[in-house]
Amino acid sequence: MKKRQFDLIVFDWDGTLFDSTMLIVRCIQAACRDIAVTVPSDEAAAYVIGLGLHDALEHAVPGLPPERYPELGARYRHHYIARQHELVLFPGTLEMLQALKDRQHWLAVATGKNRRGLDEALAHSQLAALFDATRTADETASKPHPLMLQQLMAEFGVSPQRTLMIGDTTHDLQLAANAGTPRVAVSYGAHDAGAFAAHGPLHVAHSTADLHAWLLDHA
């Protein structure tokens, strides 16, 4: 077995572990229709995935009076809760996470979801036992502020150099850059892979199998 390079591996959730990008896009668009505001394109709605819900909606629907964002957020949650049973892990995700646990890495989640949403998703996916810690946007700062990663590193006493962040958006990569940690991108989530190079990922994985193989060789 190769010497371990990272003690703590932190995953984004939506679009990285869970195949949820298009469901989130459709729920944002449905919420906009519900309150009769301009419906963002697929690209614009996908871009905001990974941010906290309030920040995401402000980016996806700019110019809405501030007092209407809670209404929009409530309609988004309505649609998402009604359809979240449709979500599935990307193929090979469970095997990848188990292999990393077997190598004694600490595993964590840093997500734009709120605590209730992440806890429900962890229970639904039966992944809770594989993660040593999690952070959500409603209990700390939203991405790309570094606080999520800083808190996780402090919890385990791990330096930035020994921490790896993995995500499907430029928000995830900028979070890692802001926290001073190495990062890996996946191209099968919300953001176009062409935007990743500027954020200095060590690798861009094009499938979970690709990510798994890279982690076994380099993590």
pTM (2 d.p.): 0.85
pLDDT single digits (tens) 17-56: 999 888 999 999 999 999 999 999 999 998 888 888 888 9
pLDDT over threshold 60, residue 181 = yes
Q: What is the pLDDT of residue 158?
A: 98
In the DSSP assignment, the letter for residue 39 is P
- The confidence score (pLDDT) of residue 21 equals 87
Q: How many CB atoms within 10 Å of residue 185?
A: 29
Which pLDDT band, with edges at 50, 70 and 90, does 7 fall under?
Answer: very high
Q: How far apart are CA 206 and CA 48, in angstroms?
A: 21
SS3 for 110?
strand
CB neighbours of residue 4 within 10 Å = 11
Name the architecture of domain 21-86. Orthogonal Bundle (1.10)
Question: pLDDT-derived band of residue 1, with 50, 70 and 90 as boundaries?
Answer: low
Q: Any idea which residue has 């990663």 for tokens?
A: 149
- Cα R_g (the chain), whole angstroms: 17
Binned at pLDDT 50, 70 and 90, residue 96 comes out as very high
CA distance 172 to 178: 10
| DSSP secondary structure code for residue 184 in this structure | E
Tens of pLDDT along 203-217?
Answer: 999 999 999 999 999
**Structure tokens that stand for 14 in this block:** 């939506």
Q: What is the pLDDT of residue 123?
A: 87
Q: Where are the domains of the chain?
A: 8-20+87-218, 21-86
**8-20+87-218 belongs to CATH 3.40.50.1000:** yes
Contact yes or no for 219/202 (Cβ under 8 A): no
Residue with tokens 């790896």: 164
Residue 149: CB atoms within 10 A of its CB come to 27
